[in-house]
Structure 1
Amino acid sequence: MTHEVVHQVEALAPRLAAAAAETERLGKLSAESVAVVKEAGVMRLLQPKDFGGFAAHPRDFAEAVMAVAAHCGSTGWVCGVGGLHPWEMALCDRRLQEEVWGVDPDTWIASPYMPSGVAVPTEGGYVLTGHWQFSSGTDHCDWIFLGAAVGDERGRPLRPPRVLHVVLPRSDYTIVDDSWNVVGLSGTGSKDVVVGGAFVPDYRTISADEVAEGELAAERAGRTDTVYRLPFWSMFPLGITAAVIGITEGLLREHYDYQRDRVMATGTRVKEDPYTLYAIGEAAAEIAAARTQLLDGISQAYDLAEAGKPVGFEQRAVIRRNQTRCAWRAVQAGDQVFARSGGNALRLDKPMQRFWRDSHAGLHHAIHVPGAPYHTAALVGMGVELAPHQRMMT
């Protein structure tokens, strides 16, 4: 059954599509795009019910992100990234949840998680310093998750490393305004953020290793909804890949609309040309397969957690492998569609070229780099014992 939020997105889709060009021009989500996302409730899908959320099945979250991205790639991307943050916030200290959502349950949280800063222990917490890139949707967020390596008294990361996710209010970090000038997904406003010695109390931190495993963090937070027992590296990539797939679905839809009455230079109508129709049909099947496999992977993980079983590393490795492949499969299929869309598809007033650029930009995220997840899954399939570094991001 389709979630009510997905129905809301589909009902509001014309407004998203109409605002997409302005979002790209601004280099951040337009006011209209933000309003649509809030009205539909996309960012609250993974938010706990006691703070105005749905605590929804992650499949519903992915489908909502796809629905948004099919009409505005940048807005879909911000939903895919930012919509995961309420899930992790539900695992944090209750005091922090009250600070973030106590007044406004529609408060948005940014990231990135790359440990590009150092947190030096001090009385009651840490002193954080660092510079992070790629904070998607950050202009519209009042709080931020940041990855940080715990450091010694001289600010050097400990060895072996210990990584925290730390949470800061907007007043404790600086957004670098002119730091997102890109060829695709430019409306995401994925700008740099800088922190210069901010104090982070203990209760605004959570262990990255604990979140990665899922179950332990949920138990400590007192969260019993199944969605909060899932592993981070099954959940975090989900929304990002869903956005990429949704973007290619938008490209395909625009292609159908344009090709319906198009006559090629040969004088043949596209709808009468068997070669083009074959290629389009094959590409559409690949995009549909990407959607199905992504949703199937996270549904399998959810079913295990629902049954009270752990989502083991072997299962996680397969989910990550397939999730990565889903993104590449969809974008490669989108290439076949775009290549058969004629010269007019290149015009900047046509949405197809924006969907095409956005889809390729989406492959540049670290969770879509295929080497490590393919390598890890192959070794798992062989029953090989993995070294710690081969388990990263899985």
Structure 2
Amino acid sequence: MVHEVVKRVEELGPELAALAEENESLGKLSDKTASLMRQIGVMRLLQPSDFGGYQAHPRDFAEAVMGIAKHDPAAGWVSGVVGVHPWELAQMDRRLQQEIWGEDPDVWVASPYMPNGIADPIGDDNFVLSGRWPFSSGADHCQWDFLGAMKGNGSGAPIMPPEVMHVVLPRPDYQIIEGSWEVVGLSGTGSKDVVVDKATIPAYRTVLQSDIAGGVAAARAGRHDTVYKLSFGVMFPLGITSAVIGICEGALATHLQIQKDRVAVTGVQVRDDPYALYAAGQAASEIAASRTQLIDGISRLYDIVESGGEPTTEDKSNQRRNQVRCAWRAVQAVDAIFARSGGGAIRKSSPMQRYWRDAHVGLQHMIHGDGVAYHSNALHMMDLETPPGMLVML
């Protein structure tokens, strides 16, 4: 059954597509785009039902993100990044959930998670935080921000061994730096830097990354639904890779529309060129395989948990390997058709070049780093010991 949010994506998709060029020009999502995304409800798919969310299957989340990205890569990217945050917030203190969603279930929370600051304890139940974080996607339309930080020792230095915290700050406690998002692709995501200067954070607005990764936080928060039992290493990459695959689907659709009536410089209509058609058919298969493999992988892990089981490290390693490969396979397919799209595709007026740039920038995200994912998975397959550093995203 198709989720109602996915249905709304297709209904409102043409309106999203019409705004894509404006978003790129603005360097952030337009207010109209953000309004359409709220109307669609994509950010509430993983939000708990007691705070106005759908508490949906992650497959539905992935399909909605792909659908949005197909029409507007920037909107899809923001959906995939910001849309996973309600999943983590559901596992945190309910006082925080009430603060964020108590009056408006459509409040969005940005990130990034990289530990660029030190959360130093002050008193019994507070931390103080300063630092600067890049890549806060969708920040202009969010009222809170998830930030990664090292847990401090009370003297401004991280404790040893280090512990990574995720802390949540309201908009008045951080500054969005204008002009910090000048990039070659995904410009419309508005993934600007945010700066924090000695903000005081109540302990209930924090969580250890290890508690989220290990499922401790969900149990502590009384969240026993299957979706909240899945690991951070499974859920965090899902939205980002879904966005990349959706971008590639949009690139394919755009390519086919252009080629249908294009006449090459040789005077041959592309529809009569068997080599161009071969490339398009092959690319379509590769992109479809990426979609199928990503959804199949998250569904398999969900089913294991739903039936009372616990995914093994190998299960999660296989999913991580496949998730990375999905993104690379889809982008490589776009490269193949872009190379056969003709000179018109490089013009700034062509959406084809924007899809191509956005797909490659999406591949730059750290969760698409293929080296460690493939290396560690090969060790698992050979029953060899995996270094602890290679288990971080599992």
Q: Does 1:180 align with 2:181?
A: yes
What is the deviation of 1:217? 2.0
Q: Kindly provide the amino acid, as one letter, of the partner of residue 147 in structure 2.
A: L
Q: Paired residues, what number?
A: 393
Supply the AA of the counterpart residue of 2:376. Answer: T
**What secondary structure does 1:2 align onto?**
coil
- The TM-score normalised by the length of structure 2 is 0.98
**Number of the residue aligned with 1:334:** 334
Superposed CA deviations along residues 122-154 of structure 1, whole A, max 9, x for unmatched, are 111211111111000001100111111011232
C-alpha separation in 2, matches of 1:106 and 1:153: 36
Matched, 1:15 2:15: yes
Once residues 128 and 393 of structure 1 are traced to their aligned partners in structure 2, the CA distance between those partners, rounded to angstroms, is 25
CA contact (8 A) 1:15 1:32 kept: no
Contact 1:24 1:185 in 2 (8 A): yes
Structure 2: how far apart are the matches of 1:59 and 1:374?
24
Query: Which residue is equivalent to 2:208?
Result: 207
Report deviation, 1:16: 0.3
Tell me what 1:161 maps to: 162
1:234 matched residue in structure 2: 234
SS for the counterpart of 1:129 is: strand
SS in 2 for 1:21: helix
Q: For residues 142 and 39 of structure 1, what CA distance do their matches in structure 2 show?
A: 18
Aligned residue number for residue 273 of structure 1:
273
Checking the alignment, whether the CA contact within 8 Å between 1:231 and 1:311 is kept in structure 2 is no
RMSD: 0.9
Aligned to 1:128: 129
Deviations 1:156-210 (A, max 9, x none): 1122111111111011111111100000000000011111111111100111001
Q: Once the 2 structures are TM-superposed, how far is the Cα of residue 268 of structure 1 from its aligned partner?
A: 1.3
- Secondary structure of 1:224 counterpart: coil
> In the aligned structure 2, how far is the partner of 1:225 from the partner of 1:62?
18
Q: Is 1:150 equivalent to 2:135 in the alignment?
A: no
State the Cα distance separating 1:91 from its structure 2 match: 0.4
1:223 aligns with 2:223: yes
The residue number in structure 2 matching 1:57 is 57
Q: How does 1:222-371 map to 2 (within 5 A)?
A: 222-371=222-371
CA distance in 2, matches of 1:282, 1:276: 10
Q: CA deviation at 1:226?
A: 1.0
Deviates more, 1:245-254 or 1:221-230: 221-230
SS at match of 1:70: helix
For residue 316 of structure 1, report the CA deviation from its aligned partner. Answer: 0.9
CA contact (8 A) 1:13 1:68 kept: yes
> Which residue identity lines up with residue 291 of structure 1 in the other structure?
R
The residue identity in structure 1 corresponding to 2:131 is G
> Which consecutive segments of 4 or more residues in structure 1 shift more than 3 A?
none
Larger deviation: 379-388 or 23-32? 379-388
Which amino acid counterpart does residue 140 of structure 1 have in structure 2?
A: H
Judge conservation of contact 1:286–1:333 (CA < 8 Å) in 2.
Answer: yes
Question: What is the deviation of 1:79?
Answer: 0.2
Is 2:79 aligned against 1:79? Answer: yes
- Aligned residue type for 2:223: R
Q: In the TM superposition, what whole-angstrom CA distance separates every residue of 1:11-69 from its partner, at most 9, and x where no partner exists?
A: 00111011001100000001111011000100000000111110000010000000000
User: SS of the counterpart of 1:286?
Assistant: helix
Corresponding position: 1:2 with 2:19: no
> How far, CA to CA, are the matches of 1:125 and 1:309 in structure 2?
37
**Distance in 1 between residues matched to 2:243 and 2:387, nearest whole Å:** 32
Query: Please, which moves more after superposition, 79-88 or 373-382?
Result: 373-382
- Normalised by the length of structure 1, the TM-score is 0.98
Cα deviation code 1:202-254 (max 9, x no counterpart): 1001110011123x222111112210110001000000000000001000001
The CA deviation string for residues 310-361 of structure 1, in whole angstroms up to 9 with x for no partner, is 1221111111111011100000000111111111111111111110100000
* Structure 1 CA distance for aligned equivalents of residues 217 and 301 of structure 2: 17
Structure 2: distance between partners of 1:210 and 1:321: 23
Residue 138 (structure 2) aligns with: 137
Give the Cα separation in 2 of the matches to 1:350 and 1:61: 29
CA drift of 1:387 comes to 2.5
1:213 and 1:266 map into 2 onto residues whose CA distance is 60
Percent identity, please: 60
Q: Distance in 2 between matches of 1:311 and 1:143?
A: 32
CA distance in 2, matches of 1:392, 1:152: 23
Structure 2 regions of 5+ residues with no counterpart? Answer: none
SS of equivalent residue, structure 2 residue 169: strand
Name 2:47's counterpart in structure 1.
Answer: 47
Counterpart residue identity of residue 127, structure 2? Y
| Structure 1 portions without partners, runs of 5+ | none
**Secondary structure, counterpart of 2:247 in structure 1:** helix
CA distance in 1, matches of 2:339, 2:214: 42
